[in-house]
Each structure stands twice: as C-alpha cells, then as structure tokens.
C-alpha cells in the first residue's frame, strides 16, 4: 500500500536577525490512509512548523528549503500558488491551534462554511452548498440550526466542532489538527476527540494530531512521532512508545507523565530545550541525555528502522548492529 | 490562629441589564478559610463555566461578591484603602491561564517584571532589579539572556507562562492564585512549573489556590480539593480520597474523562455516559448536576442537596449519600486538610 502522505527530506529555516534557525531538519515521514499519527515534542521543537510546511503556509522570514510533501501522489511543494490554494482543504486540511477563536464573530457559521466551498467549487448551486455544510455539521454531532448561528452562541467545544466540520467539508485525504483541544476542559476534550475519531473512521482520512499531551495521544492515535529540535527522534506505535520507548528523549518524556501511582514525584526533563539558533553539534539531545556517549557529541545519528517498524535516531542502538 | 483569607457565604450572580429576572449564579454560598500559619495548596476543579475563574476574580478583588464578604487578614477586601490595599495587592498574586493575553504587545517582556519592582519598591538600584529579574527567570527554568529585551510575540506560550510565574515569585506573595497555570505549557515543563509552585509553598509558606480542570496535576500538587459545578460545591475533601474514591457522579465523570497516559486504560472504560453540557441549562431549583446525572431521582429536582460527610475528610453534595451526616456549608474548611 502506498502511503497517502509521504514527506521526504523536508527542511524549513527561519532567517532571523541572529542567524538561520533550522526549524525542520530533513524530516521523513509516511502515513497510510486511515492512520492516526501523534506528533509530540516540546514548544519550539518544530511541530507547528511541520504542519505549516505541509500546508505550504510558512511565511517570511521562514522558507521551505528543500524536500517534498506528497499527498495522494501529488507533490504539494511543486504546485503553483493557485493549485496549492485548491489543494488546501480538498486534499489536506489544517485545524490550527485555537481554531475556535478564528471564527468570524459577525458572520453566521453557515456563511463562513459556504465561503470555504465557494473558494473551491464556485459553480456549485446554493442549495447544494447549504446541504453539504449541514451534513458536515451533522457528522460532528451539531444540530442543523448551528448553520444559522453566530460564534458567540456556541460553547467552546461546539466552536471547535464547527472548525472540524469546516475541515472535513471537502473530504480531504489528510487532516492536521494542531492541539485541537488545548483550551477545552477534560469532559469537552473527550467529546471533541471522540468526534474526530468517528469522522476519521467514517471517511478513512489520515489524521495528524499535534500536541504535547501524551495522555491524549495514548487514548487517540495509532502511531507517535517524537520531535526534538527540528528532527524526528522516534516513530513507533503507541503501544511500543508507552511500554518500551527507545530514544532517551522519548523515555524521559514518558517518565515525566503524572499518573495516580507516583504522587509527588516530578520527573521533569533536566536542562532546557536547545534554541534553534544554537542546536548542539551531533545529536541535539546529547547535553540533556543521561546516556550520552562521545560519538553523540560529534555525529548526528541517522534514523534507522528497528523491529516492529520503529524508526529511531539514536547511537545507542547502532553500536551492536 | 489568625485567618489569612476568609470567604463568608460568598455568592456571585451575573445579571444582564436591570430588568433581567434571574441571572447566572457563578458561585453560590461559598465559605472557605485559609489559615495564616498553615500554608496549604488547595485545588478548585471543575469544567468551564463552573465558577472557578469567578472564585479567582473575587479573591483578587477584581469583582465584588453579590452577597457575603471576603476577608483578608480580617478586613473586607473591597473596603481596603491605602497601605492595607497595597499590601493586599502585593501579597495576593495571580498566574493566569492565557499566557497570550497578559502581555502588552508594544512593550518588551521586561515591562511585566520591572513594573511590580518599581510599584512595590523591591529593588534598591537598577543592577539589583536586574539581578532579581534574572534570578526569578532562572528559577522557573528560563535563560534570562534569551528572554529579557524580547517582545512577547517572539516567545512561545510556555515561555510566556513561565515569565508570569517568575513575576509572581518576584513579589514573594502570601497567597498565589494559579488559574490553569499549566494548561498551555508543555508536559515536560509542567513538572518544572508545578515543582516551582510547590517550592514556593514549602520554602516561603505561600498558600496556593490551584484552579484547574486537570485532575492529574492537581493530584500531584495539592493537599485538598473543591470540585465546583455551575457555582456549587459538588465534592470536597482530602485530594487522595476524592481522586481515588470519587463519590459524586460529577467527580466520577471528571476522573473518567482524564486521558490517562496508559494505552490499557481507555476512556470511558467504566461506562459512565457523557452528556453534553448545555449552557442554557440553568439547573432549575434542585441539584445543579441533575440534568446530566445518570443516577437522577425525583428528589434531586427540588432542593439542592446539602454536603453529606461521606468520610472524615470528604463531603459530597448528592442525595445518594443522604444517610450520612450533613456538614453545614460554612464549615467546609473542616474537611480540607492542610
């Protein structure tokens, strides 16, 4: 099966006054149709940059230096601007962080949804557009009358679901959700995530969930990709990731999670995430790594495949091989 | 034993216009005491709209209670003047939920730290002020040279939130109101921020009111918990009891909705049904949770249930426990260990 989404050697830099910051460093990633991938990492690890690069929405001073993002056989990076505009939402949809605050307060929900369709299929009849919007609203468990409402009449969870409804309007093959529930409380969060889950199953879409809540990842995704300083350090199935993480950073991340059996034990990860302007030589994690070796200080570890289709970039496991 | 802070039957109702029949009760008849010499960490939990933030706003004196009074060191906070007021302002500090909203985009982030230093005359010289700022920033895990002189839009949400915590540390408060301080911060840094909050409590004797919907972090930092729903106390007590043996159906729903970082512990595994919270539901006369409660009975709909003492340090406001003794709402503090 050819993966629906293939990212190859994607590199993104931001040109700042203090020098070039490499926010995404030769990232490779495959995702099959119907798969749910969690992308985790600290702030500034390049999660959101990756989402924006996939949508080709990186703004100056940022630039996509090289690489390809192939969705269903089409390389998005090589499209011209007009083709890319059409690809957004129809091939690949993006639900940005705090999407629920992006609804226009002076327009009815319906008008905003119709706008999205008009931008792609201008000659569709008005009734068809309305019907498609209503169906989309129903598929995220909202009533049809939400179409006539304004954003202030909806609760946070409902607004977030409107944004999901807009995201799935044109049945994209890939949906990127950037922390879709970070501003919602646990009960609403659960409802929103269950909605995404159901919609995803019905449409067979691939979903990339960006976030740092490992608990949410454990409940929702199939695969977890851990990012650190612009590189992927480990990609494993969710079960492998939680039972035996391989990369030391992933191990630290799993250990830092609070649960009910270790009250009062705070295992934060020592040290600070590196500034992207001063990424350490060799493995970017080596200054914080408890198992760092000499080779880690000089050579960047390559991503290698291990048992169970796991991808790990760490020297610890290459020594014996 | 003097009371540092006291809520006496505080009710806050938001009304719309002069002719509205009934407003929304954001906090109903809430009483609570913090003792001066027994600093504690108390969690106030509940979903959006449960009155958590109203509680914080009342405590900080941003809004006045509709009924009842709030005393700080024995004085009503809405009547504080002069030095008393300045003292109260310095000793009661806050860290807010949204690290994006508290910064003025036209100033560098230094502004947020220099203003309190000037206002409360914390530093003798510019160099001293700079030292204090750097110390506070380092203690929350930030590199001062990366932060000072930057504009808010150049920093991430996590960094901005830690600047807010640093600002509170700077003032050495007695009471810190932390309104969802880590909900927008990375998991790996959450531990560090919570640890610095606990350090503040342990080393400087600061009482912390930790407002959150995240019961996992609450469990790790707090001594006691008050669970609010639509302004009413649903359950309260020792945090270990409440989290491990939740009695009220609402607390059970909350605990069941936590996304546990464990692939073998699935959401909703105990079959608790989830009903949508409805903003238009005013709750009627009876139990506020009745509309969503799976155990609802007829007598839930008429009067709100009092607090039943289900254990030595645990109360639940639910008719399921009506064979237990009733605890008057004014004595809520009795079941909250320090």
Element of type H or E holding B244: helix B239-244
Here the tokens at position B139 are: 């203690």
Q: Do the Cβ atoms of B189 and A259 come within 8 Å?
A: no
pLDDT at A189 > cutoff 50: yes
| Distance between CA atoms of residues B160 and B185, nearest Å | 9
CA quadruple A113, A117, A120, A126: dihedral sign = negative
pLDDT band, very low/low/confident/very high, at B141 (cuts 50, 70, 90): confident
Backbone angles phi, psi at B58, to 5 degrees: -65, -45
CATH number of A5-248: 3.40.50.300
pLDDT at B282 > cutoff 90: no
Which of A208-217, A233-242, A266-275 is the most confident on average?
A233-242
pLDDT at B188: 65
B2-60 tens-digit pLDDT? 788 999 999 998 887 666 666 778 888 899 888 888 889 999 998 877 888 889 989 99
Answer whether the bond into residue B304 is a cis peptide, omega within 30°: no
Residues B177, B211 contacting (CB under 8 angstroms):
yes
| Residues A134-157, mean pLDDT to the nearest whole number | 88
Q: In chain A, at which residue ranges do the beta strands (DSSP E only) sit?
A: 5-16, 19-31, 36-40, 62-71, 74-75, 92-95, 174-178, 206-210, 223-228, 231-237, 304-306, 310-312
pLDDT at A29: 92
Which 193-252 residues of chain B touch chain A by CB within 8 A? Answer: 194-195, 198, 213-217, 219-220, 240, 243-244
Q: Which residue has the tokens 């989309």?
A: A136
**CA A188 to the chain's CA centroid:** 20
| Residues A37-58, mean pLDDT to the nearest whole number | 88
The answer, for B296 touching chain A at a CB cutoff of 8 Å, is no
B63-82 tens-digit pLDDT? 899 999 999 988 898 888 88
Q: Where are the domains positioned within chain B?
A: 1-15+24-222, 245-338
Q: Which residues in chain A have Cβ-Cβ distances shorter than 8 Å to B184?
A: 182-183
Q: Where are the domains positioned within chain A?
A: 5-248
pLDDT at A9: 93
Kindly report the CATH class assigned to B1-15+24-222. alpha beta
**Among A31, A158, B211, which residue's Cα sits nearest to residue B197?**
B211
Neighbouring CB atoms inside 10 A of B145's CB total 9
pLDDT band, very low/low/confident/very high, at B261 (cuts 50, 70, 90): confident
B72-126 tens-digit pLDDT? 988 898 888 888 888 898 999 988 877 777 888 899 988 888 998 888 888 888 8
Q: Do the Cβ atoms of A42 and B159 come within 8 Å?
A: no
Which 87-146 residues of chain B touch chain A by CB within 8 A? Answer: 141-143, 146
Q: Across chain B, what does the average pLDDT equal?
A: 84
Q: Nearest-CA residue of chain B relative to A184?
A: B48
Which 45-84 residues of chain A touch chain B by CB within 8 A? Answer: none
> What ipTM goes with this model?
0.74
- Of chain B, the percentage scoring pLDDT greater than 70 comes to 91
Question: How near does any CA of chain A get to the CA of B44, in Å?
Answer: 14
pTM of the model: 0.79
Of the two residues B183 and A278, the one the predictor is more confident about is: A278
Neighbouring CB atoms inside 10 A of B271's CB total 7
pLDDT at A250 > cutoff 60: yes
| Distance between CA atoms of residues B224 and B40, nearest Å | 8
Q: Which residues in chain A have Cβ-Cβ distances shorter than 8 Å to B189?
A: 42-43, 268
């Amino acid at each position: 099966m050819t993966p629906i989404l293939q990212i190859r050697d994607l590199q993104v830099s931001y040109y700042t006054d203090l020098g070039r910051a490499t926010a995404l460093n030769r990232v490779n990633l495959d995702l099959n149709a119907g798969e749910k991938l969690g992308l985790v990492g600290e702030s500034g690890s390049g999660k959101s940059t990756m989402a924006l690069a996939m949508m080709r929405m990186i703004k100056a001073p940022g630039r996509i230096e090289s690489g390809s993002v192939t969705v269903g056989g089409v390389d998005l990076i090589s499209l011209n601007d007009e083709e890319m505009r059409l690809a957004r939402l129809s091939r690949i949809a993006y639900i940005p962080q705090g999407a629920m605050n992006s609804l226009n307060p002076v327009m009815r929900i319906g008008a905003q949804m119709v706008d999205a369709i008009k931008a792609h299929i201008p000659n569709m009849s008005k009734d068809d557009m309305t019907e498609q919007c209503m169906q989309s609203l129903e598929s995220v468990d909202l009533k049809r009358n939400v179409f006539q409402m304004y954003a202030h009449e909806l609760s946070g969870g409902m607004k977030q679901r409107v944004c999901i409804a807009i995201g799935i309007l044109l049945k994209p093959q890939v949906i990127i959700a950037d922390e879709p529930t970070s501003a919602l409380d646990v009960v609403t969060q659960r409802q929103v995530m269950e909605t995404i889950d159901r919609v995803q199953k019905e449409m067979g879409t691939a979903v990339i969930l960006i976030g740092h809540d490992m608990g949410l990842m454990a409940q929702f995704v199939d695969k977890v990709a851990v990012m650190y300083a612009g590189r992927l350090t480990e990609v494993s199935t969710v079960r492998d990731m939680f039972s035996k993480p391989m990369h030391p950073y992933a191990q630290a991340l799993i250990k830092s999670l609070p649960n009910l059996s270790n009250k009062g034990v705070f295992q934060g990860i020592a040290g600070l995430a590196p500034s992207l302007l001063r990424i350490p030589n060799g493995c970017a994690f080596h200054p914080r790594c408890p198992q760092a070796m000499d080779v880690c200080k000089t050579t960047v570890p390559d991503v290698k495949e291990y048992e169970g289709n796991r991808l790990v970039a760490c020297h610890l496991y290459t020594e014996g091989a | 034993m003097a009371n540092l802070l006291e809520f006496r039957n505080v009710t806050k109702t938001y009304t719309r216009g002069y002719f509205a029949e009934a407003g929304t009760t954001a906090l109903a008849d809430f009483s609570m005491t913090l003792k001066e010499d027994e600093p504690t960490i108390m969690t106030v939990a509940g979903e959006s709209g449960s009155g958590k933030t109203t509680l914080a706003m009342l405590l900080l004196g941003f809004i006045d209670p509709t009924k009842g009074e709030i005393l700080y060191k024995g004085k009503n906070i809405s009547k504080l003047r002069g030095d008393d007021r300045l003292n109260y302002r310095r000793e009661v500090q806050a860290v807010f939920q949204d690290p994006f909203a508290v910064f003025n985009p036209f100033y560098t982030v230094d502004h947020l730290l220099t203003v309190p230093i000037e206002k409360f005359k914390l530093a003798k010289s510019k160099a001293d002020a700079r030292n204090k700022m750097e110390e506070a920033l380092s203690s929350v895990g930030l590199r001062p040279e990366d932060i000072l002189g930057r504009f808010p839009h150049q920093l991430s949400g996590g960094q901005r939130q830690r600047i807010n915590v640093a600002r509170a540390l700077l003032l050495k408060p007695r009471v810190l109101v932390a309104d969802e301080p880590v909900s927008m911060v990375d998991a790996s840094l959450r531990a560090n921020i919570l640890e610095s909050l606990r350090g503040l409590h342990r080393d400087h004797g600061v009482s912390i009111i930790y407002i959150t919907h995240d019961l996992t972090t609450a469990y790790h930092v707090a001594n006691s918990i008050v669970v609010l729903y639509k302004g009413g106390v649903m359950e309260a007590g020792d945090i270990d009891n409440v989290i491990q043996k939740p009695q009220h159906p609402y607390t059970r729903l909350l605990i069941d909705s936590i996304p546990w970082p464990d692939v073998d512990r699935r959401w909703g595994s105990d079959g608790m049904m989830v009903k949508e919270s409805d903003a238009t539901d005013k709750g009627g006369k009876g139990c506020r949770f009745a509309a969503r409660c799976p155990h609802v009975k007829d007598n839930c709909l008429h009067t709100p249930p009092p607090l039943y003492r289900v254990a030595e340090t645990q109360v639940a406001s639910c008719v399921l426990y009506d064979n237990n003794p009733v605890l008057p709402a004014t004595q809520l503090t009795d079941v909250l260990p320090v």
